[in-house]
C-alpha cells in the first residue's frame, strides 16, 4: 500500500489505517515484468546509501550532524546496514544460492 507520494499523503489510506480497516486499503502493484528491475534499483540505492554512510562515518562534521536527541552516528550506520540487508533478503528466493554475498564490496581485513 502507498500512503505517501510526491503529491502528498493519501488521506483515505491514513484514515483506514487509523480506524484499523485494513481490508479497505488499496493494494499497489508493479506492472508485470518490472518487479525485478524495481528491486534491483532499490537494492542499488540502499547499497549506495550504505557506502555513503560508511565513507562519512569518521568525518567529524558528519558525525556532529548525526548526533543528538539520543541518536548517534552508529544509529545511522546500523540503519543503513539493516535497510540494505532487508532488501537483499527480500530480493533473494529461498531456493537461490547466496550469490549476492559475493557481490558485496567488503574492505580487506
Q: pLDDT tens-digit profile of 34-61?
A: 888 888 888 999 999 999 999 999 999 9
- Kindly report whether the global pTM for this prediction surpasses the value 0.85: no
Given this model, what pLDDT does residue 4 score? 75
- What average pLDDT does range 26-30 have in this prediction? 76
Mean pLDDT across the chain? 83
- DSSP character string of the chain: ---EETTEE-HHHHHHHHTT-GGGPPPP-PPTT-HHHHHHHHHHHHHHHHHHHHHHTT-HHHHHHT-BTTB-HHHHHHHHHHHHHHHHHHHS-TTS--THHHHS-PPP-
Sequence spans of domains, the chain? 1-30, 35-109
pLDDT digits (tens, 9 = 90+) for 55-90: 999 999 999 999 999 999 999 999 999 999 988 888
Amino acid at each position: 500500500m502507498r500512503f505517501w507520494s510526491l503529491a502528498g499523503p493519501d488521506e483515505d489510506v491514513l484514515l483506514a489505517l487509523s480506524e484499523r480497516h485494513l481490508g479497505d486499503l488499496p493494494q499497489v502493484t508493479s506492472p508485470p515484468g518490472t518487479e525485478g528491475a524495481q528491486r534491483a534499483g532499490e537494492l542499488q540505492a540502499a547499497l549506495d546509501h550504505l557506502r555513503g554512510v560508511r565513507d562519512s562515518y569518521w568525518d567529524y562534521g558528519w558525525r556532529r550532524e548525526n548526533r543528538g536527541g539520543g541518536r548517534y552516528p552508529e544509529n545511522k550506520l546500523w540503519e543503513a546496514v539493516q535497510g540494505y540487508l532487508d532488501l537483499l533478503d527480500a530480493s533473494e528466493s529461498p531456493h537461490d544460492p547466496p550469490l549476492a554475498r559475493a557481490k558485496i564490496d567488503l574492505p580487506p581485513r
